[in-house]
Amino acid sequence: MQYQEFTRVSVEKLMTGTSDIPPLCKARPDYERQCSICGHGPVVDLYTMDGQFVDSSDMCGVCAFGRQDCREPSHWPA
């Protein structure tokens, strides 16, 4: 049985895109839930560019993006 190979793409790259890949997702805060790692919130939820829910990261901005300034959703990658 052959398995399809996947390339792991960071959440930030999904949202900002690259020169050859347009942004695929945008983040929206979920103020009702707390981070599964540190217990802070809001949690980063991912939506398609046209607003359809994709998935939840189950992590706050700091844990999802690895930067302290991402504690505030206004600092999340656009």
Model confidence pLDDT, tens digit, residues 12-70: 665 665 655 556 778 899 999 999 999 999 999 988 888 888 888 899 999 988 889 99
Query: Does residue 33 lie in a domain region?
Result: yes
pLDDT value of position 34: 95
Domain span at 65: 19-75
Is 14 inside any structural domain? no
Asked whether residue 11 is assigned to any structural domain, the reply reads: no
Domain count, the chain: 1
The pTM score is: 0.71
Residue 3 pLDDT exceeds 80:
no
Half-sphere exposure of residue 7: CA atoms within 13 angstroms, side-chain side: 3
Q: What is the side-by-side order of every strand in the sheet holding 53-60?
A: 25-30, 43-48, 53-60
pLDDT at site 62: 93
Complete DSSP assignment for the chain: ----------HHHHHH--SSS---EEEEEETTS--TTTS-SPEEEEEETTS-EEEEEEEEHHHHHS-GGGGSGGGS--
pLDDT at 54: 85
